[in-house]
Amino acid sequence: MTSEELAHIIAEVRAQEARLVLPGFAFEDAWEIGTLLVELGRQRHLPITVRIVRGEQVLFHAALPGTSADNDGWAQRKANVVHRFGQSSYLVGLAHLADGADFLDHPWNDPSRFAAHGGSFPAIVNGVGVVGSITVSGLPQEDDHALVVEVLERYLAA
């Protein structure tokens, strides 16, 4: 990937984060977003795990056929990136790459706790900020990220 392509993707992800802001993030919101992710996963026969968290509480979790406990671990580690940095796990990984650094080169980015790979998107509430994360694990990182973005766009349009 060229530096221009990388810069374009980073700008696109930043625009998504600025645009995909929720009016609130209650139990019902997590259920609706999670259910939509699961429905799309089933329709497309995707081996995904979905994990939605507000604060420290898991509000929604589902695993579709083809996943394993490894996907649970990936989802947790990607969500930890969102909770620590307040940005999507994809953006954090891409920003490190753009700076010429590997996320895991920093000793405080413990790979057993953090994964700066696409798939976890911040649950951003209007006027509040990041309150949680919406995570998909099981596909290539850009596809995990794109699925969450697609669902948030649908959810906010409804």
H or E segment to which residue 19 belongs: helix 3-19
Q: In the prediction, which pLDDT does 100 show?
A: 83
* pTM for the structure as a whole: 0.94
Q: In the prediction, which pLDDT does 8 show?
A: 96
Q: In the prediction, which pLDDT does 72 show?
A: 97
Averaged over successive runs of 10 residues, the pLDDT of the chain (158 residues) comes to 91 98 98 98 98 97 98 97 96 90 75 91 98 98 98 97
Q: In the prediction, which pLDDT does 140 show?
A: 98
* DSSP per-residue string spanning 45-79: T---EEEEEETTEEEEEEE-TT--HHHHHHHHHHH
Alpha helices in 21-140 (DSSP H): 27-43, 69-85, 89-98
**CA end-to-end span of the chain, whole Å?**
35
| Number of CB atoms found within 10 A of residue 112's CB | 7
CATH number, domain with residue 110? 3.30.450.150
Q: In the prediction, which pLDDT does 110 show?
A: 78
Q: How many domains does the chain have?
A: 1
Q: Which domain holds residue 119?
A: 3-157
Q: In the prediction, which pLDDT does 156 show?
A: 98
